[in-house]
Structure 1
């Protein structure tokens, strides 16, 4: 039971820290979107938090015995770090797609205006 709680606390902290970093970098990355930047950033980071916290819960209940509680907790944290890396990459990719779509809309409007 102690190893489960240790993992849940560590996992929640890792998700919170990574989510905070994503929110800060998303704000800077999407700044050029103007008034829509903050709501889009919040939406993307909320999805990140919900998805990764769900994965923390699933990893916590997966049957895993690596030869004792400390090794099992470390193994679970390792699995979580890999999942967090993938989730972080998907989130950054989402920010890039949002920004690229915005830039495309600006270019399309500029071409239409000049035509």
Structure 2
């Protein structure tokens, strides 16, 4: 039971830390969107937090017996870190798609305005 609580606590802290880093990065990355940057950044980071915390909960209940309490926690943390790396990458890709769409729309508007 204590290993489960340890994993959940450390997992939630890692998700919060990574989400904070994503939020700061997203703010800088989406800065050119103007007033829309804040709400879009918040939306993407909230989805990241919810999905990542759900994955922490699912990993916590996966049957995994690696011989002892500490080994099991370390094994679960390894799985969690890999999953968080994937979730982080997907979130960065989403920020990139939002930015690219904005740039495309701005270019189209500029082209229409000039013609």
Please provide the CA RMSD for this pair.
Answer: 0.3
Matches within 5 A, 1:27-66: 27-66=27-66
TM-score (norm 1): 0.99
TM-score (norm 2): 0.99
* 2:67 counterpart SS class: coil
Distance in 2, matches of 1:113 and 1:30, equals 24
- Unaligned stretches of 5+ in structure 2? none
Aligned length: 115
Q: Using the TM superposition, give the Cα deviation of residue 114 of structure 1 relative to its aligned residue in structure 2, in angstroms.
A: 1.1
Tell me if 1:82 matches 2:93: no
- Unaligned stretches of 5+ in structure 1? none
Task: Report runs of 4+ in structure 1 exceeding 4 Å deviation.
Answer: none
